[in-house]
Chain A
Amino acid sequence: MNQIIQLSATELAAKLRAGEITSVQAVQAHLDRIAEVDGGDRGVHAFLHVNTDEALAVAAEVDAIRAAGGADAQALHPFAGVPIAIKDLIVTKGQPTTAASKMLEGWMSPYDATVIEKIRAAKLPMLGKTNLDEFAMGSSTEHSAYGPTRNPWDLDRIPGGSGGGSAAAVAAFEAPLALGTDTGGSIRQPGAVTGTVGVKPTYGGVSRYGAIAMASSLDQIGPVTRTVLDSAYLHELIGGHDPADSTSLNEPVPALVEAAEQGASGDMTGVRVGVIKELQGEGYEAGVQERFNESLEALRAAGAEIIEVSCPNFKYALGAYYLIMPSEVSSNLAKFDGVRFGTRVLPTQGPLTIERVMGATRAAGFGDEVKRRIILGTYALSAGYYDAYYGSAQKVRTLIQRDFDAAFAQADVLISPTSPTVAFELGSKTDDPLAMYLNDVATIPANMAGIPGITVPGGLSQGLPVGIQFLAPAREDARLYRAGAALEKLLEDKWGGRLLDSAPELSAATTGGVA
């Protein structure tokens, strides 16, 4: 494997700044890797679109600025020239944006998401758009209309979802950085099952403008990386107030890089870590529980005060989530009707009225999981049912927030396994939506309360990655980076290297790609 692609983003950025390698070389190395492992019959299939020309052009521009030196070179962002992959739920000019749906096949956004504007301004070459469950609805990336993504650890297994493409791209060294979106765990659960790092920022910490909305009150864009420090840099880059997003926090991004660097000492002295009683035990695989317990031991040994906290209302979280999320989905996805953009399907017989064209378009353009959620949400919002469903679910949301408030009165950060299981086999849960939904049981409460969460690799079970999740109070994202970086350091010391170093070698031979 080319050594460039094994570098973390922070390491790569340092080599670019030092002039040891060029951005064009870095981008080309990743494009080669994508060609090698992504596209074959058994390829990872992390990417829906590869943005070769533009990525190389941006890289060349960065190289030219660096070569010229002076003020322009000084003004470059520290990560300028480091390539990044973008979840295909985030709109980009000049590249298609599909949301992994037939509904948007071939659609080109006329505008950039705010996070994309920031990435362009910082001159990070965009490698392309990554796969996801259609409109981010799913926990396995199997609901993509363009075929599933495979887990680099085992090509017969799912990479998690909805952001399986971004997580797999990073895990397979196809990109050092990626963007994801997290509505109920779509950054953290794929991070857990691919052995990568993923962060869901505080709601409002990163602009949602240009992220195709799934559930507006729950969605957040966040970083997907191989190290906690890389996530901190990327989070600082994409975070901050955006006047185009009314729900964005009007305050500066916290000092996340500083927090990650502090955590990297591995010292957890005086940090109170709350173990959420309800997010372990029944439903959690034994191997997952073992890795979780080892992480607690490592933290305790590093000086952390480990306490147990109870969040009794979490048992209602999944149910409430599956009322609020589909309700917002049913409204957010109403705009996909074939009238103004995207796919338009005409009924094969009968008159061409607007209702019938909208109906035929939505029938053909949406996959089953999307339809399931639209129907659920339409029902939950209906007159006569609103109070019992949407109304009750909002009350549960308040109760979950109170559980968190009480827990954070005792602990600085909370901890749990990110996902109750390791990656399951492709196709094993596609016929059982409820089993699929249970994957997000540990990640959903954070979205319901608007608080931030991080997943860091916690070791292997059955040869597959286990993720450890930290949660922090709203606006206290820095605590996640401190604790996350500390655990990362403690475990890597124990393992003698990074978890991904133990991942099976992928090559053109294993994936059917281009050698």
Chain B
Amino acid sequence: MAMHQEELVDFDVALEKYDPVLGFEVHVELNTKTKMFSSAPNVFGDVPNTNVTPVCLGLPGVLPVVNKTAVEYAIMIGLALNCKIAERCGFARKNYFYPDTPKNFQTSQYDDPIAYDGWIDIELSDGEVFRVEIERAHMEEDAGKLTHMGGSTGRIQGADYSLVDYNRSGVPLVEIVTKTIEGAGKRAPELAKAYVAAIREIVKALDVSDAKMERGNVRCDANVSLMPKGAEKFGTRTETKNVNSLRAVEHAVRFEIERHAAVLNSGAAIVQETRHWHEDTRTTTSGRPKSDADDYRYFPEPDLVPVVTTVEWIEELRARLPEPPAERRKRLQADWGYSDAEFRDVVNAGVTEQIEETIAAGTTAAVARKWWMGEIARLAKNADKDVADLGVTSATIVELNSLIESKKINDKIARQVLEFVVAGEGTPSEVVEKRSLAVVNDDSALGAAIDAAMEAMPDVVAKVKGGKLQAIGALMGPVMKATRGQADAGRVRELVLQKLGIEG
């Protein structure tokens, strides 16, 4: 597809003239054992169309039954977002024809969400706190997954045919909708990223979602509009759909601000529409025109009875909430002994959870920080990816660290091993094995290399014998070369001194 090159205005220039207004709809897939309205397993990654029942296939005669655990998870999300919980709420049918929706309607909540009127404080990188108001969090079911075959765009237009996997059909979702967010100014892209990161952090801490953005467990639709500074009326918004990484959220908001500014500057009007985010080009393209006239013919779902919550039930769920993320961060910083700057860097890098997991898996706080903030961050940056998407886990780090501690590899080789792990060559041990990267500790092999080096450099040997012990360094190069860098430097030094009869 020939891509129309969008005109853009430099971000800072755009922000001199316009105030951005944001709004987010974040869909969270719940990690319940079964689906929202059927007993089919809620499992990611299985053979397509195996986790289905007549209910999630929408066969004739079937009826939905609400998953109580999903309701509890939705209430917990609502409570964590400081929402009010409805005493009574119901489901509605959102009617539209699309092949990923087996009944050709989605069972959702319409005018009576289970949770409403909440807020969440978002801490930005410099510690500034920005309050985002939550309009509602409601329950609904996910659609099946369509894969469009043929065509160049991977979208339904132009595809030869489409495949549909109903394993995802009926997976419980909670959609969290913010009120309009004003006043973020040039920090809008950063706030967008931080907001989604905060939602992800919360649902993960609640253990109500696997919260893996790369798997679509957390999906963000970002609404952006601009209004001239000083104006009171919001501009026309666009909704960028399915922005599925934290970096993409930030980039998409920034891109749309730059694009809107260019359109408005040219005197044209923003078209109210959905936009598609393209990670490769970091641009959005026009999707479906969306207007308030979209008619989903909502009406109350007659096959379900209202969900009624009691104070006792809500309080029981409130008691199950983990500590709020802000308090948790305070506790973690104290436990780990990081300085304020160190800890903020960790938070901003988005590796708090990884470090916590790594420490829990058996390394010291210092080692965990060294890896996640050092080499892993560097590799992510080079690969232009989120740290979470590199494929490095706490287990990788623990294994790497134990290889170092057992002197199988040294620090420098460990960094190489990590690169190969990221490249998909296996676990650290497998990489060391496959690539023969283990440190040469075998004294006889080392001894031969040292003998050769000493023979080739009699002058160096003489200097060492004369007491200039630092001259040993000159022998190190040839020894390392002979052992392809896998010699343990400390051991080489010991052996040289031993051979020359010098006390180290």
Q: Which stretch of B58-66, B252-260, B389-397, B457-465 is in the interface?
A: B58-66
Is A247 a contact partner of B60 (Cβ separation < 8 A)? Answer: no
A-B contact count (CB 8 A): 104
Q: Which residue of chain B has its CB nearest to the CB of A384? A: B295
- Assess whether A335 is interfacial by the CB under 8 Å rule: yes
Contact check, B59 vs A341: say whether CB atoms are below 8 A apart. Answer: yes
Residues of chain A within 8 A (CB-CB) of B99 are: 337, 339, 354
Give the A interface residue count (CB, 8 A): 45
Interface hit among A49-57, A154-162, A203-211: A203-211
Can you list, as one digit per residue, whether each of A389-414 has a CB less than 8 Å from chain B (1) or not (0)?
01000000000000000000000000
Q: Is A113 an interface residue (CB 8 A)?
A: yes
B156 interface residue (CB < 8 Å to A): yes
- Among the stretches A66-74, A104-112, A193-201, A504-512, the one at the interface with B is A104-112
Given contacts A381-B299, A390-B299, is CB(A244)–CB(B65) below 8 Å?
A: yes
CB-based contact A354/B295 at 8 Å: no
Q: Which of B62-107 contact A (CB under 8 A)?
A: 62-66, 93, 95, 97, 99, 102-105
User: Is B304 located at the chain interface by the 8 A CB criterion?
Assistant: yes
Flag whether B311 is at the interface (Cβ < 8 A).
Answer: no
Contacts of B95 in A (CB 8 A): 330-331, 334, 381
Is B129 in the interface zone, CB < 8 Å from A?
no
Interchain CA distance A244-B93 in the complex, whole Å:
19
The answer on a CB contact under 8 Å between A99 and B60 is yes
Quick check: is A423 within 8 A (CB to CB) of the other chain?
Answer: no
Nearest neighbor of B65 in chain A, beta-carbon distance: A246
Contact A355 B97 (CB under 8 A): yes
User: Considering the chains assembled together, what is the distance between the CA atoms of A357 and B58 in angstroms?
Assistant: 18
Given contacts A90-B61, A213-B61, A354-B162, contact A383 B295 (CB under 8 A): yes
> Which residues on the A side are within 8 Å of B104 (C-beta)?
334-335, 337
Complex Cα–Cα for A216 and B65 (A): 14
Which size class do B's interface residues fall under? 20 to 34
Q: How far is the CA of A491 from the CA of B331 in the complex (A)?
A: 83
| A104 adjacent to B97 (CB under 8 Å) | no
Question: What residues on B are CB-neighbors of A244 within 8 Å?
Answer: 63, 65
B93:A331 contact, CB within 8 angstroms:
yes
A293 touches B (CB below 8 Å): no
Contact B60 A212 (CB under 8 A): yes
What chain A residues lie within 8 Å of B303 (beta carbons)? 213, 216, 246-247
Task: Let me know if B97 and A328 touch, CB within 8 A.
Answer: no
Q: A330-B297, A382-B297 are in contact. Are A209 and B105 (CB under 8 A)?
A: no
Contact with A along B285-313 (1 / 0, CB 8 A): 00000000101011100111100000000
Which A residues are CB-close (under 8 A) to B65?
A: 243-246
Distance of A408 from chain B, by nearest CB (Å) = 23
Judge whether B54 is part of the interface by a CB distance below 8 angstroms: yes
Say whether A25 faces chain B, with CB atoms less than 8 Å apart.
Answer: no
Q: Shortest beta-carbon distance, B302 to chain A, in Å?
A: 4
Q: Does B57 contact A (CB under 8 A)?
A: yes
Q: Is A437 an interface position by the 8 A CB rule?
A: no
* A243-B65, A354-B156, A354-B162 known; A334-B60 Cβ under 8 A: no
Taking a contact as CB atoms under 8 Å apart, the answer to whether A109 and B60 are in contact is yes
Contact B61 A382 (CB under 8 A): no
A212 to B60, CA, bound (A): 5
Q: What chain A residues lie within 8 Å of B62 (beta carbons)?
A: 209-210
Chain A residues contacting B305 (CB-CB under 8 Å) are 246-247
Task: Name, among A107, A111, A211, A246, the residue most crowded by chain B CB atoms within 10 Å (CB to CB).
Answer: A246
B66 and A246 contact, CB distance less than 8 A: yes
Q: Are A91 and B299 in contact (CB under 8 A)?
A: no
Chain A contacts to B: CB under 8 angstroms: 90-91, 97, 99, 104, 107, 109-111, 113, 208-213, 215-217, 243-247, 327-328, 330-331, 334-337, 339-342, 354-355, 358, 378, 381-383, 386, 390
Q: Closest 7 CB pairs between A and B?
A: A334-B104, A381-B297, A217-B302, A216-B302, A210-B61, A212-B60, A91-B61
In the complex, besides A246-B64, A328-B299, 17 extra interface pairs with C-beta distance below 8 angstroms are A209-B62, A209-B63, A213-B63, A216-B302, A246-B63, A247-B303, A327-B299, A335-B58, A339-B99, A341-B59, A341-B60, A381-B95, A381-B298, A383-B295, A386-B297, A386-B299, A390-B299
